[in-house]
Structure 1
Amino acid sequence: MEYQHGGDIYTNSVTMDYSANINPLGVPAGVRRAVCQAADQCFCYPDSQSASLRGKLAKFHEIPMETIICGNGAADLIFQVVTAVRPKEALLIAPSFLEYEQALRSVSCGITYYELKEEEEFALREQELIAWIEESSHSFQMIFLCNPNNPTGFALKKEQLHPLLDYCREKRIFLVLDECFNEFLEDPHRHSALEFLRKGSHEQVFLLKAFTKIYAMAGIRLGYGICKDSTVLEKIHQIRQPWSVSSIAQAAGEAALEETAYVEAARSLIACEREYLKDNLTALGFRVYDSKANYIFFKDLRTEALQEEKLLYRQLLVKKVLIRSCANYRGLDGTFYRICVKQREENEAFLSVLKSILTERK
């Protein structure tokens, strides 16, 4: 089976991985200590309810503990919520994260795509989306929305999310809102639907979050969902594996929530280095889109790139540099790429390799 995502450092021999959007500061020191301490208790089964972690998440987000469910990464919860709701027809934004489609296919759900336009910079306009749904003949039971979107990095503000949440409530459409990259935004609260869930007025929303990206805990596997619909949460509890979240992951999650200074430092770093990379990629002749997250979405405009599939990806791989080709995203082709944002020294090294490739081709 072909690897579908970034971070494939196992198939490819690389010295520089720019394909996975992980916090460049690495695993926080407090999380490292918690993992080591938790290893001493690995002879015990983990708490199947993740009660202590959920309690701390409830305090962290100022929401009731019973609205939180933890999973083995966000991907685990995507499959669980789809299996619990079992929609017959769902709407996906394209391009967007691949797991949504995979999860929906697993329950034989019909899928309709709302394709974002390149000439509009792949921006989602919520009123146009609502109007399109109204004019269509479809009766959707579920919509997936990634905010900020992966791979484009486009982010809706909460005042743009509000009408969509209201519409889904009115039409009884279950909305899965993926905010796994929200913490990398310069003003995360302005782009989150959490405030609406706190008010308790939107039950048919599943807010998806993860420790994976912002705390650089991809290998630990820890995600969580926030939902006011107790019936859906109960169905998930009935179908999920009882020990899907390890004791090490739970301890790491509790420790991570204390790392507020680390998150602020990462957010500041990303804001600076994102613009640095954007400016340099633009200067090199690439079409760079206005990503707001910790990754950059761009297009290779070279004539030869139109003729040779995934040309830049293959050129960089020869140099042992891995980037994310977006060729397997719906609506994109082998000229589109996504790279993560790292620290300045690493970014300079990456740009140096990139410049050498462009020079070689001239």
Structure 2
Amino acid sequence: MNNTPLRIEQYATVLFNTNLNPRGIPDSVTRAIKENIETISMYPDIYYSKLKTAVAEYVGEPLDNIIMGNGSTDLLKLFGALLMPKKAMIVYPGPMEYARVLNDYSAEVVFYELKDENEFILDVNDFVSQLTSDMDMVIISNPNNPTSKKISLEDMKTLAGACKERGIFLVVDEMYIEFVENYKEITAIQLIDEFDNVAVMRSVSKFFAVPGLRFGYAVMNNPEFKEIIERITTKNNIASLTALAITNMFKDTEYINESISTIHTERSLVYLAMSTSRSIHLYKPDANFMLVKLLKDDITSAEVAKHCSQRGVIIRKCDDIKGLSNKYIRFCFMNPKQNDLMVNTILEIV
């Protein structure tokens, strides 16, 4: 007899571990690619005038403050090459890619721990107290991944000012910012006119669900650094089809508004549905995903993930994330029926 576990065919696989917008690829992107497929036989416009204008209008900044690249990691490497940091500080738990990029430039990486007992909320005053004048760079995400916690504009301004006083360049990664309620009120883009030591970078991968397009952008008000970046970057590094698709995508207000509404609703419903369980601890989310701690001694994240996968629910176990353990799981919010299945499946085993 074959003892191999049978897959439960009635459940379609849903990737709750990717943190992508559940609305999927915008129709504006699909149309732009279908209608302009012939552009792959042409070299891209090295000035990207329409694309840069679309980005500038989307963030409400002048064209001169816009930097474009092939995703957030590409931009992070660009800032690394620009600054050649000898010493940098990042927080943990947090995106593991930051340390890998800094290591590529042989930088000494100082880790600042976000405390579980403080709900993984950044204590900006304590963080600032750890900054030293021999640091060149600070990289911080807002909201944080995997904790889904945002940083207020007031705290970010405090951090930007402290970095400026010490000659530190601050990179703010806002990959998930559009998922935050009233995100325009907390985005660090509001600070760049005052602080020339701040760069805010974003990727379109998560909110617009198009990681395959490999596009990211940064906003910075530092003419000297901008001039250097213009000299060291490849002039036509963004594909023609990507440029056309992104240009149309940023103008797709229907998709943008419906996405914001969907995530805000589902985030509240999932949090409410799971908050009655005494066997888990929820870290109240600000983004489109939530971190959960397993409180029972006899259950691990691997066991929960395996149980969920049998129902086609793929979640993130966090045992490989610095600062977390096999007692933490993370999942994003999808469509209502998918979220119902996910919640019920997790509660069955925890």
Q: TM-score, normalised by structure 1?
A: 0.88
Q: Contact (CA 8 Å) 1:14, 1:322: kept in 2 or not?
A: no
Taking the TM superposition and a 5 Å limit, the aligned residue runs for 1:211-226 are 211-226=204-219
> CA–CA distance in 2 between the matches of 1:100 and 1:322?
25
> CA–CA distance in 2 between the matches of 1:221 and 1:89?
28
Taking the TM superposition and a 5 Å limit, the aligned residue runs for 1:222-241 are 222-241=215-234
Structure 2 residue aligned with 1:123:
121
Structure 2 residue aligned with 1:269:
262
> CA–CA distance in 1 between the matches of 2:250 and 2:44?
19
1:281 CA displacement = 2.6
> CA–CA distance in 2 between the matches of 1:54 and 1:337?
38
Evaluate the alpha carbon distance shift between residue 50 and residue 337 of structure 1 in structure 2; reply closer, same or farther with a 3 A threshold: farther
Matched, 1:304 2:302: no
Q: Contact (CA 8 Å) 2:213, 2:242: kept in 1 or not?
A: yes
Deviates more, 1:158-167 or 1:228-237: 228-237
Structure 2 residue aligned with 1:330:
322
Q: Contact (CA 8 Å) 2:281, 2:293: kept in 1 or not?
A: yes
Taking the TM superposition and a 5 Å limit, the aligned residue runs for 1:174-193 are 174-193=169-188
The number of aligned residues is 339
Q: Contact (CA 8 Å) 1:209, 1:223: kept in 2 or not?
A: yes
Evaluate the alpha carbon distance shift between residue 310 and residue 49 of structure 1 in structure 2; reply closer, same or farther with a 3 A threshold: farther
Aligned residue type for 1:324: R
Evaluate the alpha carbon distance shift between residue 312 and residue 246 of structure 1 in structure 2; reply closer, same or farther with a 3 A threshold: same
Q: Contact (CA 8 Å) 2:54, 2:251: kept in 1 or not?
A: no
Matched, 1:170 2:165: yes
> CA–CA distance in 1 between the matches of 2:197 and 2:45?
27
Structure 2 residue aligned with 1:77:
75
1:154 CA displacement = 0.8
1:294 CA displacement = 0.6
Q: What SS is found at the alignment partner of 1:201?
A: coil
1:178 CA displacement = 0.7
> CA–CA distance in 1 between the matches of 2:12 and 2:224?
46
Deviations 1:289-330 (A, max 9, x none): 01111111111222222xx56322233234432111222221
Evaluate the alpha carbon distance shift between residue 58 and residue 188 of structure 1 in structure 2; reply closer, same or farther with a 3 A threshold: same
Structure 1 residue aligned with 2:152:
157
> CA–CA distance in 2 between the matches of 1:223 and 1:195?
19
Q: Contact (CA 8 Å) 1:74, 1:209: kept in 2 or not?
A: yes
Aligned residue type for 2:274: L
Residue 320 of structure 1, aligned match among 301, 312, 321? 312
Q: Contact (CA 8 Å) 1:78, 1:99: kept in 2 or not?
A: no
1:332 CA displacement = 0.8
Q: Contact (CA 8 Å) 1:50, 1:70: kept in 2 or not?
A: no
Deviations 1:194-225 (A, max 9, x none): 1222xx22111110012111111112111101
Q: Identity over aligned residues, as a percent?
A: 27
Deviations 1:60-106 (A, max 9, x none): 32322122111111121111111221100000011111111111011
Deviations 1:246-267 (A, max 9, x none): 1111111111111223222211
Q: Contact (CA 8 Å) 1:300, 1:312: kept in 2 or not?
A: no
Evaluate the alpha carbon distance shift between residue 14 and residue 336 of structure 1 in structure 2; reply closer, same or farther with a 3 A threshold: farther
Deviates more, 1:211-220 or 1:225-234: 225-234
Aligned residue type for 2:144: N
Matched, 1:256 2:246: no
Residue 286 of structure 2, aligned match among 278, 281, 292? 292
**Could you list the runs of 5+ residues in structure 1 that have no partner in the other structure?**
1-12
> CA–CA distance in 2 between the matches of 1:260 and 1:327?
38
Q: Contact (CA 8 Å) 2:301, 2:329: kept in 1 or not?
A: no
Q: Contact (CA 8 Å) 1:18, 1:324: kept in 2 or not?
A: yes
> CA–CA distance in 1 between the matches of 2:161 and 2:185?
18
Q: Contact (CA 8 Å) 2:146, 2:330: kept in 1 or not?
A: yes
**Could you list the runs of 5+ residues in structure 2 that have no partner in the other structure?**
1-10
Aligned residue type for 1:310: A
